[in-house]
Amino acid sequence: MNGRILVAYATRAGSTAGVAGAVTEVLRDAGYDTDLSLLNSDLMPEHYDAVILGGPIYMGAMREVEEYVRAHHAALESRFKAAFAVGMSFVEDDEEKRALARAALSKAISPFEPAHLGYFAGKTDPAKLSFLQKVALKVVSSPIGDFRDYEAIKAWALEVAGDLGGSHPA
């Protein structure tokens, strides 16, 4: 593939932006013409040869990703190559919570099943949260801190890059 790649993401407090940025950096280093953008309804997948979508999991859902997939379903059909979810469920060693988080990504991108799905721990910075969000963190006993594993993120992005085409553009 010699075309353009879109890495589009949703974020609420910046954690997913860091993950999307790392994915974009790997793709660019691999020689791909890659755009990084926040998900919004005006972002047209038709302008790209491949699309990678990512977003945070909040309250068991990835609403922004789901809305984008629904709005651009036809254009994504031949372009949707990978998706990733960022959430604190991936910090804990709790397979039930991880399974629910993986299900949130599957639901958000349905009916698509791209070859590459990434699941990454996020970052919780209480200074960036509203009072109600802080209360919710305490209720669910969410871990606080930056748990993003950039080595794992970059390794996943390299796998995606390898599958985008046999020969990398010059």
Are the beta carbons of 79 and 45 closer than 8 angstroms?
yes
Residue 167 has pLDDT above 50, yes or no: no
Better pLDDT: 36 or 12: 36
111: exposed, middle or buried (C-beta count within 10 Å: 0-12, 13-18, 19+)?
exposed
Q: Report the pLDDT value the prediction gives residue 2, as an integer from 0 to 100.
A: 54
The pLDDT of residue 1 is: 46
What's the pTM? 0.87
The length of the chain in residues reads 170
Superfamily name with CATH number, domain 4-162: Flavodoxin domain (3.40.50.360)
pLDDT at residue 41 in the model? 83
Q: What is the pLDDT of residue 42?
A: 87
Interval 100-120 mean pLDDT: 95
Domain boundaries, the chain: 4-162
Q: Could you write out the DSSP letters of every residue in the chain?
A: --SEEEEEE--SSSHHHHHHHHHHHHHHHTT-EEEEEE--TT--GGG-SEEEEEEE-BTTB-HHHHHHHHHTHHHHTTTEEEEEEE-GGGTSS-HHHHHHHHHHHHHHHTT---SEEEEE--EE-GGGS-HHHHHHHHHHT---EE---HHHHHHHHHHHHHHH-SS---
Q: What's the whole-number mean pLDDT along residues 17-36?
A: 96
With cut-offs at 50, 70 and 90, classify the pLDDT of residue 139.
Answer: low
- Convert the pLDDT of each residue in 47-95 to its tens digit: 999 999 999 998 889 999 999 999 999 999 999 999 999 988 898 888 9
Is the distance from CB of 86 to CB of 15 less than 8 angstroms? yes
pLDDT at 145: 73
**End-to-end C-alpha distance for the chain, whole angstroms:** 11
The average pLDDT across 19-45 equals 95
